[in-house]
Amino acid sequence: MEITVRGGRIAEARALQHPSGDGQTDQINAYAVPRLDQETTAAQSAHIDTVSGATFTSDGYRRSLQSALDAAHQAGAR
């Protein structure tokens, strides 16, 4: 997970890795990850909705996002 914080706000969120391998997983992630990225900047937190049909991807994304937010906070991101 990579986040960009400007002025104390999440300016950008981007998943650097996600599960892949089979066609269905790739299809789900191609649909879900961009939506999760967008929802993150809208919500300004890790409290984002699960993308329908992508529960595991959404849960993993939220955990990774929270870790990135915690690291940014500890580093004093502004």
pLDDT category, 3, cuts 50, 70, 90?
Answer: very high
Question: What percent of the chain has pLDDT above 90?
Answer: 72
Contact 1, 14 (CB under 8 A): yes
Q: From residue 23, give the alpha-carbon distance in Å to each of 27, 28, 33, 43, 62.
A: 6, 9, 15, 30, 23
Task: Answer positive or negative: Cα dihedral of 23, 26, 29, 30.
Answer: negative
- DSSP 8-state assignment for residue 52: T
10-14, 28-32, 71-75: the lowest-pLDDT one: 71-75
CA-CA distance, 6 to 8, in Å (whole number)?
Answer: 5
What's the whole-model pTM score? 0.88
Predicted local confidence at residue 76, as pLDDT = 80
Average pLDDT of the segment spanning 27-40: 94
